Structure 1
Amino acid sequence: MRIAVTGSIATDHLMVFPGRFADQLIREQLERVSLSFLADRLDVRRGGVAANICFGLGRLGLSPLLVGAAGTDFAEYAGWLRDNGVDTSAVRVSERLHTARFVCTTDADQNQIATFYAGAMAEAPLIDLAQIARSTGRPALVLVGADDPAAMLRHTAAAHRLGIPVAADPSQQLARLDREQARRLADKATWLFTNEYEAALLLDRTGWSQDDLLGRIGTWIVTRGAEGVSLLRAGTPGLHIPAVPADRIVDPTGAGDAFRAGFLAGLAWRWPHEPAARFGCALAATVLESVGTQEYELLASDLITRISETYGDEAARAIQPRLADAL
């Protein structure tokens, strides 16, 4: 099952503030915030939601197709992705702009304040998904991740026009979307990914109730951090998957992307929804224990142990043959 992942390609600048953001905020002055946080650690890492998801899929042997726009500085990053099983042939490389930058500070409570510079991502609307499908082969699924909003809308429309199932994953871009744009991205999606906050924001942006939204899509996957993941479908009881505990949380950045990679891998391997979500949770826990979004190690024995300890030996035995082949 070939998966195309559209969305941002970026470099992450990750800093750690040893205090608490909340201690620095004065309720009466929130309309005039002027703060700086003295970070005690800086890590510069590869990132971007599409690249992160593709990295996870590539490490699992699924040869994902990365669709996005990168900058004049992309050559080294492209080599890294190819070395990890990602097809970068559909990436548009700008002749004048740098690859996007994600600058994020995390406090002692794992709260985050981030800024995103689009850079070459501004050229993403020039990418023609239909042309890519003709030249590289028709994918079985297109994930439309956070990107330039015009590109997200164009890719969604192209996939629907071509009859390719869509996994809608608007994430950070929800705040930039108006009602019509939010509806166009979510409507008719086979899969819809949000975290818990984005779920509420999506309903606000679309003006739809939860039942309205579920009536227009296939399955809504809502990640809830340490509370796990919920899978929602119209007319059926919701399915809740507990999270896989992390031994220690080093950096939360990229855990959601890793969950998506694991879940999509499960779909590609024809697993039912529940084991696919469990596998996604195991990958997310692995990323939580490392700094950066693409620096984690994937070991079949470790993933099987995590799943066994959280979901039981039978759940672990069910996925063991596939992981032995993939890793």
Structure 2
Amino acid sequence: MTQEVLICGSMAFDTIAVFDGRFKEHILADRIHMLSVSFLVPQMRREFGGCAGNIAYNLKMLGGAPVPVATIGEDAVDYLDRFKEMGIETRHLRVVPQTFTAQCFITTDLDDNQIAAFHPGAMEHSADNEVNAQNAAWAIVAPDSKAGMMAHVEKLAKTQTSVMFDLGQAMPLFNGEELLEVIKQVDALALNDYEASVVEERTGQSIQELANNLQAIVVTRGCEGADLYTAQGKQSIAPVPATEIVDPTGCGDAHRAGLLFGLTQGMGWEKACMLGNVLGSIKIASRGPQNHVFTRDHIEALLQKTYNQSL
């Protein structure tokens, strides 16, 4: 029986519009105090997103058993239907009445500049969502409302389930003291290189010092691969070259899914990091966080080619 993985985090809709011009030609520096602009956006798409949703999508495609834990609005019917069709467990997806699902509205110009607005909606109620880790081998607390992340860490710390903490976009919400309190209660951290430097600055401890008291800390470095920190020291995991670079949105979530799948399959941290790198390289070649597809044979081939490893 495939072991379940609890995925606490956000589920959201991303609406991306493309302006066929440049913002700088319409936003005048001497008129910024009275800004009023409108952009014609002939291209627009809506994506399924949110960290919990993205991780669950990738983990399911690997053959795992994700159980997303999130609060969603009354407008999430199609998201629920999508997950049910994929066979993703939805028992911990709580619909909050009279709210919208969290959503981000992004307008991009020809220079890849972005103007974004984020509505948290139902995500603000995530702390009230119950977590049952009875059948879970691992759990991850991914970006969500701060109250929700703190509540889920505290609840999961009282169980026998191993817990990974993914700071991500919630980084500005936590001070050093709060980060240290969280780190005391979890088994592993997943960070990108910028987040790792902020954690060091705010806690006053190096990533290696923090890793000495955890199972592991994984620091992703984009096209440079990842670094794995354990009590035995630091190990660099080589990158997997992407066929093309299209969109980095959701690459971190894909990497987390690879990590979690590897750990539930008994691969160990090094090999799980390799699998994470493979998924990140696949995701970046596709636009949107949940549009890429892959097979186990494809994953196997990339692992063999890059690391001489197999699933």
Separation in 1 of the partners of 2:27 and 2:223?
A: 25
Aligned: 1:198 with 2:200: no
Alignment of 1:148-187 (within 5 A): 148-187=145-184
* Shift in CA distance, 21/252, structure 1 to aligned 2, threshold 3 Å: farther
Greater percentage in strand: 2
Question: Could you tell me which residue of structure 1 aligns to residue 274 of structure 2?
Answer: 278
* Shift in CA distance, 299/164, structure 1 to aligned 2, threshold 3 Å: closer
- Which of 48, 55, 58 matches 2:57? 55
Q: Which amino acid aligns with 1:12?
A: D
* Shift in CA distance, 247/105, structure 1 to aligned 2, threshold 3 Å: farther
Separation in 1 of the partners of 2:204 and 2:107?
A: 32
Q: Please give the TM-score of this superposition, normalised by the length of structure 1.
A: 0.83
> How far off is 1:61 after superposition?
2.3
Question: Could you tell me which residue of structure 2 aligns to residue 310 of structure 1?
Answer: 306
Question: Could you tell me which residue of structure 2 aligns to residue 122 of structure 1?
Answer: 124
Question: Could you tell me which residue of structure 1 aligns to residue 287 of structure 2?
Answer: 291
> How far off is 1:41 after superposition?
4.3
Separation in 2 of the partners of 1:242 and 1:33?
A: 49
* Shift in CA distance, 162/109, structure 1 to aligned 2, threshold 3 Å: farther
Separation in 2 of the partners of 1:119 and 1:277?
A: 33
> How far off is 1:195 after superposition?
0.4
**Cα deviations across residues 218-272 of structure 1 (Å, max 9, x unaligned)?**
20000100011110113x2311112211111111100110111111111111112
Separation in 2 of the partners of 1:25 and 1:239?
A: 47
Separation in 1 of the partners of 2:238 and 2:34?
A: 37
> How far off is 1:117 after superposition?
1.9
Question: Could you tell me which residue of structure 2 aligns to residue 256 of structure 1?
Answer: 252
Report the 3-state secondary structure (helix = DSSP H, G, I; strand = E; otherwise coil) of the residue aligned with 2:164: strand
Q: Which amino acid aligns with 1:160?
A: A
Report the 3-state secondary structure (helix = DSSP H, G, I; strand = E; otherwise coil) of the residue aligned with 1:294: coil
Question: Could you tell me which residue of structure 2 aligns to residue 322 of structure 1?
Answer: none
Unaligned residue ranges in structure 2 (runs of 5+): none
> How far off is 1:15 after superposition?
4.5
Report the 3-state secondary structure (helix = DSSP H, G, I; strand = E; otherwise coil) of the residue aligned with 2:233: coil
Moved more, 11-20 or 301-310: 11-20
**Cα deviations across residues 159-185 of structure 1 (Å, max 9, x unaligned)?**
111232110012110101223322222
**Cα deviations across residues 181-237 of structure 1 (Å, max 9, x unaligned)?**
222222242120010111111222333333442233220000100011110113x23
Contact 1:229 1:240 in 2 (8 A): yes
Report the 3-state secondary structure (helix = DSSP H, G, I; strand = E; otherwise coil) of the residue aligned with 1:168: strand
Report the 3-state secondary structure (helix = DSSP H, G, I; strand = E; otherwise coil) of the residue aligned with 1:153: helix
Alignment of 1:97-112 (within 5 A): 97-104=99-106
**Identity across aligned pairs (percent)?**
32
Question: Could you tell me which residue of structure 1 aligns to residue 75 of structure 2?
Answer: 73
Separation in 2 of the partners of 1:152 and 1:143?
A: 10
> How far off is 1:104 after superposition?
4.2
Report the 3-state secondary structure (helix = DSSP H, G, I; strand = E; otherwise coil) of the residue aligned with 1:252: coil
Separation in 2 of the partners of 1:219 and 1:111?
A: 36
Report the 3-state secondary structure (helix = DSSP H, G, I; strand = E; otherwise coil) of the residue aligned with 2:182: helix
Separation in 1 of the partners of 2:277 and 2:111?
A: 21
> How far off is 1:33 after superposition?
12
- Structure 1: 4+ residue segments shifted above 4 A: 15-26, 31-41, 104-115
Separation in 1 of the partners of 2:63 and 2:34?
A: 47
* Shift in CA distance, 70/25, structure 1 to aligned 2, threshold 3 Å: same
Question: Could you tell me which residue of structure 2 aligns to residue 209 of structure 1?
Answer: 206
* Shift in CA distance, 53/111, structure 1 to aligned 2, threshold 3 Å: farther
Report the 3-state secondary structure (helix = DSSP H, G, I; strand = E; otherwise coil) of the residue aligned with 1:232: strand
Unaligned residue ranges in structure 1 (runs of 5+): 320-327
Q: Please give the TM-score of this superposition, normalised by the length of structure 2.
A: 0.87
Aligned: 1:266 with 2:268: no
**Cα deviations across residues 120-177 of structure 1 (Å, max 9, x unaligned)?**
0011111122xx34xxx33221100111111111110111112321100121101012
Separation in 2 of the partners of 1:68 and 1:280?
A: 23
Q: How many residues align?
A: 307
Q: Which amino acid aligns with 1:271?
A: M
